[in-house]
Structures are given as structure tokens and as C-alpha cells.
Amino acid sequence: MGFGLEVTVLTDAVNDTAALMSDLRRAATPGAVGDAGDRRAGILVDSGARSGADRFVPSAAPLAIAIDGPGMFVLRDHDRTVYSRLGDFKLDETGRLVDELGRAVMGFESRLGAGAAPVGVNPRDFSAQRFATYRIDERGLLVGVEHRTEHRSPKKHEVLVPIAQLAIAIFPAPERLEREGDSSFLATRAAGTPALDVAGVGGRGSIRQHVLASGSIDIEGDLRRLWMLRRKEEIDTALASASDACVRTALGLVR
């Protein structure tokens, strides 16, 4: 192994270890945010619910969204509340906003002291197909897009009608949440009492449209990868040292 290659290998190992350590520190920091996009593909891991740092993947679903920063969506699953970073939302056959598992998305029809409630289109408007399409903007506001004809003109223009604003929860210690399935979490006493508000308020992230968060951080997986990288780094260091000793011996023979 040439000297230049040895330096490159060792530098890569150090960089990989530093990247993983950075992710693990972020995971232990309540509400921390970051970006894993600068990490090499070989060690890129999903980040999310516990650290507030996500990778995003495009989605063709019209109501697919992701939180860019701290916070979690609030979902109602029968008689319990769960929290998730995965915004794979759609309207069901009754006009309720739900995720892919059919859990109701919680939000506010008004911010004037009202509590969170399941988000949905007015049944009368939904059955009458009042709105041509629906959108969720960067504030987490679900709007209905109504096409109206201008007075004395055949031209139509879009009118955005607010329906409800999605609730975003933050926890004092999000790393203490209990995992529920692949993308959901349950509140725990150790995680603290969740504070609900809307996107962009009180340190909560903004909403990205037409993308999904790729997943939640796997702390155990990162620890395993960190151990493997350190073993690899030790081996590379030993090989470099042995190679360097051979070079010194050869130079001594030449002299």
C-alpha cells in the first residue's frame, strides 16, 4: 500500500468516525437539528424523530410533507396519541386527513385557544366536491383550492380556502420517547410533556412540501458502525505503521 493511499484511507476513517460521533451527539441533544447530506454514502444513516435532523425523499403524493427542523406530527390512533416524523398524508373517503395507516392527523381549526382535533374537510364541502385540489403549505396549513369564475368573464382563478393548521409537538427530552413501530413514537414520562403549536413557532421546524422524511435515527445502528469504523481505523493504522517500517528498512539497506 503506497504512502498516499495510506493517508487517504486513514483520513477517510477519521472523517467517518467524526461524522458518526456528530450524529450520536445530535441524537442526545433535545431538539437538535442538522444535516446528514454531507456524509459519504457508505455511512449515511437515517436521522429524524429524536434529533430533528432528517434526510428527505421526493414524493408524488399531493399532501406528502416533512418537517424541516424540530417537531413531530401528532396522530390519533383510536384511543391513544402517537407522534411521527413521517408525513405520508392523504384524505380518506370521508375527507379526514390521515396517514398511510389511517390514523387521524391532529391540528387546529383556530389558534384562538382551541385544542387540537382531527383535521378534515367539512363533510358538506367534501361530498359536494367544492375544492378541485388540496395543499399543505410551509406553515402546515391545509387549504382547499377552489376554482371560481370571474364576474362577466369565462376566466377562472384559484381561491385558497383555509381548512386547518397541523399541530406540531416538541418534547423537552425527545430522545426518551418510546418507539412504536417503524416510524412512530409514544410519549413517556421521561420525555416530558409535549407542547403543541404550529410549524415555525417556538423553535419548531417549517414544512417541506412533496417530500417525505426518510426515517428516524438508529442510534444502536450508529453505535455498531462506530465500533466497526474504529476497528478498521486501528487495522489501517497498524498496516500503515508496518509499511512505514518496511520503507525505513529499505532506505537503511540502500545507505
pLDDT score at 86: 92
Q: What is the pLDDT of residues 9-46, one digit of tens each?
A: 455 555 656 655 555 554 444 433 333 333 333 322 23
CA distance 182 to 218: 11
Is the pTM for the entire model greater than 0.85? no
Q: Are 107 and 166 spatial neighbours (Cβ–Cβ below 8 Å)?
A: yes
CA distance 64 to 67: 11
Residue 66 burial (10 A CB sphere; 0-12, 13-18, 19+): buried
| Cell numbers at 5, concatenated | 493511499
Strand bridging mode 184-186 / 80-84: antiparallel
Helix 219-254 with 3-27: angle, nearest 10 deg? 160
Rounded (to 5) percent helix, strand, coil in the chain: 30, 30, 40
CA distance 226 to 21: 8
Q: What is the pLDDT of residues 158-195, one digit of tens each?
A: 899 999 999 999 999 988 999 888 789 999 999 999 99
Q: What is the pLDDT of residues 120-132, one digit of tens each?
A: 999 999 999 999 9
Residue 142: C-alpha distances to residues 70, 203, 220, 251 (Å): 20, 21, 36, 73
